[in-house]
Structures are given as C-alpha cells and as structure tokens.
C-alpha cells in the first residue's frame, strides 16, 4: 500500500482518533523512505472531536515524521503545489489509460 501511495503521490493518513489509529507509527519510517507525504486527520464527526488531532501529532512524532512531510503542516503555497503535482500525475495517467484503451479497441476492430 505504501509503495502504491508513493508511486502515485497519494498522502498517507495518520488517523488521530485514538480508537482507530489506522497506520501504526512503526510504518511511518517506511512511508518516509518511500517518499510518501503524510496527513494528520482527526477523523472528527463533531466539533468536539477536533481536539483528537493531538493524538495524530503524537503518533507522527513517535514515528519520526518531520513537519515538512505532513501535508497539513505545510504553508498554503506548498499544499497548492502538492495538489497541482497530483493533478499533473492524474492527467498523465488518465492520458496513458485512454491511449491503451484506444490501441486495444483498434486491435479488436482489425
């Protein structure tokens, strides 16, 4: 999963809800090695649950994640650049898929 996230520029969630904590902090180092960006999410379903964010910060710290690799700790310009790159990647991937489908379609017609 982490390899795919790194390959496609997908941010890996650190779920801050103490009853979830989906990605174990011991995997954070591997995510960093692969070049993944991470994002801390409080998994809030009410305003009161926004305070859960501190658990995600604690898990990120425990896993050795620097703030430069946490998407929602970056300056707005860097977040915008991240999403612009994601859009570029998705557009490039979509173009390849269309070309592959077109080539298959032409082979089937022949």
Whether 47 and 79 map to the same domain: the answer is no
Question: 3-35, pLDDT tens digit by residue?
Answer: 999 988 899 999 998 888 678 889 999 999 999
Model pTM score: 0.77
Q: Which residue has the tokens 């779920």?
A: 15
Question: 30-87, pLDDT tens digit by residue?
Answer: 999 999 999 999 988 889 899 999 999 999 999 999 999 999 999 999 999 999 988 8
d(CA 40, CA 104): 41
CB of 36 closer than 8 Å to CB of 2: yes
Whether 89 and 106 map to the same domain: the answer is yes
Whether 69 and 109 map to the same domain: the answer is no
Whether 21 and 65 map to the same domain: the answer is yes
Closest-CA residue to 21 (of 41, 1, 45): 41
Question: What residue numbers bound the domain in which 70 lies?
Answer: 1-74
- Domain count of the fold of the chain: 2
Give the tokens for residue 7. Answer: 């390959």
CB of 36 closer than 8 Å to CB of 68: no
């Amino acid at each position: 999963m982490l390899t795919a996230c790194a390959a496609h520029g997908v941010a890996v969630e650190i779920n801050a809800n103490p009853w979830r904590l989906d990605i174990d902090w011991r995997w954070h180092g591997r995510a960093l090695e692969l070049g993944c960006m991470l994002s801390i999410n409080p998994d809030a379903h009410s305003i009161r649950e926004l305070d859960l964010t501190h658990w995600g910060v604690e898990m990120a710290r425990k896993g050795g994640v620097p703030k430069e690799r946490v998407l929602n700790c970056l300056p707005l310009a860097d977040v915008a650049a991240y999403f612009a790159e994601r859009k570029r990647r998705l557009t490039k991937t979509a173009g390849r898929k269309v070309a592959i489908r077109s080539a298959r379609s032409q082979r089937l017609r022949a």
